[in-house]
Amino acid sequence: MRVAEMLRAVVPLVLTCFWSSVLLVMIAITRLRNGPDAFQPKKRQRPACLDDPQLGSHGFVTVGGIRLHYVENGDKSKPLLVLVHGFPAFWYCWHYQLKDLAKDYWVVAVDLRGYGQSDRPAGRDRYAVDLLAEDVSQLVLALGRTGCVLIGHDWGGIVAYRVAELRPTVVDKLIILNAPHRAAIQTLLRTSWNQLFRSWYVFMFQLPWLPETVMSLNDFAALERMFTENKAVQHHYPQELIDAFKYTFGEPGALTPPIDYYRANFSFTQSPIESPRIICPLLVVWGERDKALSPVLATMSARYADRFTVRFLPEASHWVMMEYPQEVNGHIREFIQKE
């Protein structure tokens, strides 16, 4: 047992050294082949899809000194749904939900601090998960509501879990898409070699400047690969969508705050996380082809709530809400309407 624990403590450092070496060699080769232009993302005009009136209207609100950008759609007299994106994304990853769910709800998709058109405070400490959770809970209040259905994906899901823990009165129901509870992922990293190796990028993200360089290399080739790996659903990733993501993260300084989420909330010697129970009903929807997060995390995370439902989509990858919007929206509607 002790040997296994020691190995698991050492492996993250070994993975960091290994992948850093690989990536540094890749950067050097790319520089020799393509010259300095390989490090400069292509300059783009703002894609028209980001101002599509069918998605709703843009707004801003200041909470705790942070100006947050959001897009809202639907009737403000109806129940409020707050959609919280993850990495590397922004409000537009919810475009299917903004169109469809707005038929029955008031839907608000926010840019978390550090992303998109929201403020980007300097310093990794400004991206601690409790600060992010407070942003979201204050957003709900600033919108004139005391509660909402909170929906989070990836980092947005991690933040949403924390909102439900710290501000339970703000969350009427919680919906999580391919996002682990922090205590669940911490436990799995200590007990599963599979998840440990899947999480190599988290360790690499602890380093300065290297993650940003790798992400932006060759006009965000790594970002584009994330959207093109699941060949069965390529029609959900048109060029305009990919350009919208590249445009957003191609702005000066746009990559460091999102990567600071990992730097601020992860360490090699992290103490065990203790979390209060989640008292609101919880739905977890999980794309089983997620390369970074094991499906085991779906049920592990759900068990931190007193009442939970888990739904798996076997053919979906990490980007479940964009790849299978009809199924995801159906699960969301069914869960909200359920007493």
Catalytic (active-site) positions: 154, 262, 318
Instruction: Check: CB of residue 176 under 8 Å from CB of residue 278.
Output: no
Q: Residues 6 or more apart from 12 whose CB is under 8 A from it?
A: 196, 203, 268
Element (H, E) at 171: strand 171-177
The first and second tokens of residue 134, run together, are: 């407070």
Query: What residues contact 275, with CB distance under 8 A and at least 6 apart?
Result: 161, 165, 181, 182, 183, 304
Interhelix angle for 256-265 vs 129-142, to 10°? 120
The DSSP bridge partners found for residue 58 are 71
Query: Where do we find the tokens 């070699």?
Result: 193
Helices (H), the chain: 2-34, 95-100, 129-142, 155-166, 182-191, 193-198, 200-204, 210-228, 239-249, 256-265, 296-302, 320-323, 325-337
> Are 111 and 70 in contact, with CB atoms under 8 Å apart?
yes
The answer to whether the beta carbons of residues 190 and 12 sit under 8 Å apart is no
Query: Radius of gyration over alpha carbons of the chain, in Å?
Result: 19
Half-sphere exposure of 61 (CA within 13 A, CB side): 19
The Cα 318–Cα 230 span in angstroms is 10
Rounded Cα–Cα distance for residues 55 and 233 (Å): 21
Pairing of strands 308-313, 282-287: parallel
